[in-house]
Amino acid sequence: MSNAPLIGFVGFGAMASRMGANLTKAGYRIAAYTPSGKGGDGSTLFLPSARALAAEADIVLVSVPDDEALAKALHGPEGVLAGIKPGCVLINTSTIAPETAEALDTEGTARGLHVIDAPVAGSTPEAEAGNLIVLAGGTADAIARVQKVFDTIGRLTIHAGPAGCGTKLKLVINGIMGSTLAVVAEGVAYGLAAGLDRSMLFDALDEVPVISPHHKRKLKAAKAGDFSPQFPARLMQKDMRLLLTSAARQTAPLPAMAAATQSLSLTRRRHPDADYSALFAVMESLVANTP
């Protein structure tokens, strides 16, 4: 469809590229800019700067690792905000600090933009299947403008509230996800240290209802020693850090999540680019007295 909206991706990594593929299949036009300067396989138009991309796009979707990368993508003479047109929708799917999301909404609204913080729940398998859950913060009007886009990349859109609320909900979800995996990994560590058969232990945990489907998937990978990065440890630890910082601002006590963050910090230090479930390998190495 030549008249379809052009969606410009700033950042086109594992998650964004899969979203882009689903949008292309649905008939949208897409283009991308990567801060690393790396292009794709030739099927996607890559532009030389975030500014150039924003000037062409009807919808700008930013998917970068953290607050610092977001600031570089948005600001400066070659940033998104230097090129984006009033009336455009700016969607930020990056997981960032809630106050950063709120500040972006304030700045974007002043420029005549429709800003949505829309991080997603799900990893690369869900992104590939178009089965993500979009956690949207912003006005109902802004979300309605891009609802068809959200319906293409995900199975459900949750309007979490005004600006920043999508980001806050994402931190709740990732905090629970990271903390519960840390508990499962500790259980595995005890079982191995106590002499349980490794295969039996992993297989047993795959059968019991107290383990979530997500963590059962991680257990199967850990049993095989496969920590291919669906959600890298460096990003999970970053999200836990954001959660604890925001919780401290709200005087919300999170002792269990704080403890889990220490284990995930160790995982990031040892295996930054592996999946965050490499925590299983860290714990197993501790009880087995191996590297």
- Give the domain CATH number at 243: 1.10.1040.10
**291 residues of the chain, pLDDT tens digit each:** 457 899 999 999 999 999 999 999 999 999 999 987 665 556 799 999 999 999 999 999 999 999 999 999 999 999 999 999 999 999 999 999 999 999 999 999 999 999 999 999 999 999 999 999 999 999 999 999 999 999 999 999 999 999 999 999 999 999 999 999 999 999 999 999 999 999 999 999 999 999 999 999 999 999 999 999 999 999 999 999 999 999 999 999 999 999 999 999 999 999 999 999 999 999 999 998 654
- Are 220 and 137 in the same domain? no
- Which listed residue (168, 170, 218, 238) is catalytic? 170
Is 188 part of any domain?
A: yes
- Are 151 and 256 in the same domain? no
- Are 68 and 97 in the same domain? yes
Confidence at residue 288, expressed as pLDDT on a 0 to 100 scale? 80
Is 37 part of any domain?
A: yes
- Are 140 and 13 in the same domain? yes
CATH classification at residue 12 = 3.40.50.720
Range of the domain at 201: 169-288
For 161-183, write each residue's pLDDT tens digit.
999 999 999 999 999 999 999 99
pTM of the predicted structure, to 2 decimals: 0.94
- Are 71 and 203 in the same domain? no
- Are 127 and 220 in the same domain? no
Last residue of a domain, one of 137, 162, 187: 162
- Are 152 and 187 in the same domain? no
Alpha carbon distance 265, 240 (integer Å): 9
- Are 24 and 158 in the same domain? yes
Is 269 part of any domain?
A: yes
Last residue of a domain, one of 128, 162, 196: 162
- Are 127 and 148 in the same domain? yes
- Are 42 and 142 in the same domain? yes
Is 1 part of any domain?
A: no
Confidence at residue 98, expressed as pLDDT on a 0 to 100 scale? 98
Per the structure, the count of domains in the chain is 2
Confidence at residue 36, expressed as pLDDT on a 0 to 100 scale? 76
Is 206 part of any domain?
A: yes
- Are 113 and 187 in the same domain? no
- Are 223 and 191 in the same domain? yes
Last residue of a domain, one of 162, 189, 216: 162
Confidence at residue 32, expressed as pLDDT on a 0 to 100 scale? 97
Alpha carbon distance 28, 59 (integer Å): 11
Task: Assess whether 38 carries a catalytic annotation.
Answer: no
